[in-house]
Structures are given as C-alpha cells and as structure tokens.
Chain A
Amino acid sequence: MQTTKTPPRILGLYDVPMWTFLEQDRQLRLQCCTDCGTWRYPPGPACPDCLSPDSDWKPVSGQGEVVSWVMFHKEYLPEYPAPYNVVAVRLDEGPILISNLIEDPAENVIGKRVKLVPVEMDDGVVLPRFELESA
C-alpha cells in the first residue's frame, strides 16, 4: 500500500479536527454526540440521531469488521498506482469507514476482524488504515 502522497482531502468546516488529531496523537477521534452519545461520520453540524449541534471529539477503539472490499486494477489517481485494495470497515462504535488494508487480501475478508493502524504518509498526512487481526 502506497505511502507517498495523499490525494486531495475534503476539508470542510467540520473535517479538519479529525485530521489534526491523527497528526498530533496518532489517534482516530470522531464526533460523538454530547447529548445522546451517537457517533458521527463524516463529521458534520448535527447529530444524525437527535439533531443536537453539540459533540465531543472522542477516540474510537479502532476495532472493527470488514463489510466489503475491492481491488483496483485501473489507476484513477496518480497517487495510487494499481493494483491496490479499498475496504469498508464498520467500527465497533457504528460508523462505516472507507479505508485500505495494509496488506492486499489473499482471500475474501468480509466479516474478518480488523484494527486501525495510523500510517504516516510522506507528505505528513496521517491516514487511518487497517490490518487484519492475527488469527
């Protein structure tokens, strides 16, 4: 999995803290509703459950399960030469993250447990990726 440059991120008003926390303390923090505890991803202005505007940036466990995965055989982004994998992981906290497995899957990985690995790219961005939990 490449670690050179990161393709452009969406950095809207609510997105920046997640990336800053990743760079500062190598930890994925997501918004968690102050009023009802519902997790929020992608970051946004209101709780999807109770519509509260208030949230705390709390660390997630980094534990999750693979929901689906693909292998790119065509290059769409110069930063990502093919082949490479993309994976959808449901965090134990609830939200689904689109990310990469550090090692390309050798077989179907749906349902497999994974844990988060912060990967520092050459351009300084810290990207949350995953690895299979050792059997």
Chain B
Amino acid sequence: MKRTAAVIGVGHSDWVGDWHRVRAGERPGDSYHYGATAFRAAIKDAGIKREDIDGLIVGPTTAYERMAEVLHMDVRWGDQADAVLSVLQAVQAIETGAADVVALVYGNDQRSAGIQYGGPQAMGGDLFLSYVYHAPWGMTSQGALYAMTFRAYADRYGISERDLGHVAVAQRQGAARNPNAIQRKEITLDDYMAARYITEPLRLFDYCLINDGGVALIIAEAGIARKLSDNPVWIESTGRFDLNRNATSLEPRLTDFYRPAQQAVAEQVFGTSGLDPSDIDVFQVYDSFSVHIPLALEGYGYCGVGEAGKFMSEQGIGLGGKLPTNTSGGHLSETYMQGWAHQIECVRQLRGECGERQVEGTKRVHYSSDVAGKAVSIIYGRD
C-alpha cells in the first residue's frame, strides 16, 4: 500500500434542510454557495486554516476561477474534475510535489435551477454523445440507458426485476439510519415492485434523487496528514480504465456491461494494495441508477458473473449483510451529489462516525464509479 495521501477533513451542506426549502419554492443559494458551505465545514473538520491549503480542485458544475474567487484562494496548483477523478488527481498532485494540501470543492444547485438529465436539454450531452444522439427516436434519458442495460443483462443471466429491488431496499435501510438522508422511510421488495415504471424495466426507486447541495474534502500529503490528524483516512490504491469504443451506440453497456473495464481496475486497485475483495468491509458505488450495483459486484469479483441477483438476495448488501453497500443511502436515498457524498461516507465509515448505520470494525472501503464506461476505483483504509 502506498499511503502517500490521506483525507483529513470532510464537509457538506444541509441538503435535507435545503430539500425542504427548495420544495417550498425557495432558492437557498447557487452552486458556489453550496460549495462554500461544504468547504467551511471541511476545513473546520480538518482543523486547518484556509492558508494551509495550496491546491484546489472544483467539481464540474462550477467554474474553477469563480469558485476559487468565492473562496478567496490563491493556490500553486488547481484543476476541475468529477468526484472520483478529483481524488485521483489530488493524490497525483501530492505525489509529484505540485501541492501538499488539496481542497476538493463541489457545489450543485441542480434542483432549484431545474437542470434536466433527460429530454431535449439533457445535461452532459456535450460530454457523452449517447445522452443526446438518439433523441430523434425518443431516447435521451440517462435512466433509459441503464434500463436498456438491465434488460440485456437480465436476458443474459436471468436476474429478475424483484432481484434488482434489493438495491433500493438495502440503501433505504441505510438511509433510514442516516440523519443526513433525504428519503428515510424504509421500503420492502413489495413496495419496490408496486412503484410505477419510469423507463421499463426500471421503476421509481431505481432512480437517483435530484437535489441541491455541496461537498468538500481536504486531502493532505502523508507526513502532513499524520501531523494534522488523529484519524487520517488513507488512500490505499486507485485505478482507472475507460471503455470508449462504440460508446454512443451503447455497445460497452449492452454487450459486456462495462465488466472488462471493472476487471482491469480491480487488478489495479487490488493488485497494487495486496488486498482482495474479501478484505473490503464496505462497498460504495456510484449509483445514479440501481443497476450500477449488480454490475459492480460482478465486475470487481465480489460474486461470480451472472450471480449478483443471488448474491444480493442470499448474502445481502444491506446493513448486516455480507457486503454493506452504499450505507448512507447513496444517490437513490441520501443525496445526489454525483459521487461526492460517497467519498464522505467512505471516510465516516472508516472513522467510525456513522452511528446507527456504522459497519463495526470497518478497515477498508472500496469506492467504484463507472459513469459512461469510465471505470474508476479508490480503496480507502485506516490505521
């Protein structure tokens, strides 16, 4: 394990309170407000001053210069990236000496600003052509891409729609024990099956929330982290592999279910750390849709190919299950922070701060993201 960098502080906005305010017609703030709110909480959590930070990464939903201006930060290194790549880039910046203490800041007013993830103005179409290219045939919703993936996967391996329901049920179990979760009412498999289809075969509970919020993390070089923190959360290993060939035609989703990318990443994260899936206590998966979870379970070797349905129903991915997954409730039930809040949950499970949803004795947490075939993983650990 390399342990060249560690997370020493995390923070987030009050997305539960803001959810209610937005539903009441208020606009609590813009994306920069949410980012600044999270940043204030993160430096307080880390016990550092803003002046101790010499690197800054902002999320893709805010302009780098403006966020840095709002936070009033001049730095010697900076970038803009999504949640998981921000962590990888912070580690790389630290390892190359470009920065010693990096702040990662994300803010998004997607709910109050009415951002569309389907339809003619589908967000992300400029980055991923598949999100908008098939509009003439009525295919623009990102959820529909996963519905199509799940149909092909179910046809190949025989997983049922009810089997998939274990994802939503398990994550709501965690959310019910998480005061920071927006949707906290527990659901059963029957509730899942009774919910309406959005794009069949996916139902309401397979879809992520859309809400406002912000997340920030402070990542520091190992020596500094030990000096500043009593409980640094180490970045043990990272890996990445992208499937881009025929992406617009959805081929990597529909024929291999992103598995080759995840297998390549598994070799990187487990190979370099000397760990294997049995060493992982908690799994966190980017879950814009529930379908990500069975695919990741198989792709990373937590169960055999085609066995995720059986794994979820017999071994369990909820609290008390074989592999507690998205213990905070994830995007489906806690908050849709585009992977950023998952990093916080990794840190809190390792610090033992998760209260009723704490997985006792957690030593290693695996985070996986496979957005549009870009498979990336981080393994976090503690001393």
Inter-subunit contact B198/A98 (CB<8 Å):
no
- Looking at the complex, which one of B135, B151, B199, B254 makes contact with A72 (CB distance below 8 Å)? B199
Convert A49-75 into 0s and 1s, putting 1 for each residue whose CB lies closer than 8 angstroms to a CB of B.
000000000000000000111111110
- Looking at the complex, which one of B140, B152, B201 makes contact with A77 (CB distance below 8 Å)? B140
- Looking at the complex, which one of B118, B201, B249 makes contact with A96 (CB distance below 8 Å)? B249
Inter-subunit contact B137/A73 (CB<8 Å):
no
Assembly CA distance A7 to B196 (angstroms):
25
Interface residues of B in 191-208 (CB under 8 A from A): 196-201
Inter-subunit contact B249/A77 (CB<8 Å):
no
Inter-subunit contact B139/A98 (CB<8 Å):
yes
Number of A-B contacts (CB under 8 A): 106
Residue A3 at the chain B interface, CB threshold 8 Å? no
- Interface of A, secondary structure class, is loop
A14 to chain B, nearest CB (A): 12
B49 to chain A, nearest CB (A): 47
Residue B149 at the chain A interface, CB threshold 8 Å? yes
Interface size class of B (residues with CB under 8 A): 35 or more
Assembly CA distance A39 to B132 (angstroms):
22
Inter-subunit contact B134/A86 (CB<8 Å):
yes
Inter-subunit contact B199/A73 (CB<8 Å):
yes
Residues on A with beta carbons closer than 8 Å to the beta carbon of B248:
42
Residue B266 at the chain A interface, CB threshold 8 Å? no
Assembly CA distance A84 to B134 (angstroms):
14
Inter-subunit contact B197/A110 (CB<8 Å):
no
Residues on A with beta carbons closer than 8 Å to the beta carbon of B136:
6-9, 125, 127
Binding site for B on A (CB under 8 A): 6-10, 41-42, 48, 67-74, 76-77, 79-80, 84, 86, 88, 95-100, 108, 110-111, 125, 127, 129
A-B contact pairs, 21 of them (CB 8 A): A6-B136, A7-B136, A9-B135, A9-B136, A10-B135, A67-B254, A69-B148, A70-B201, A76-B118, A76-B119, A77-B120, A77-B135, A86-B137, A88-B249, A95-B246, A96-B249, A97-B249, A98-B133, A100-B138, A110-B152, A127-B137
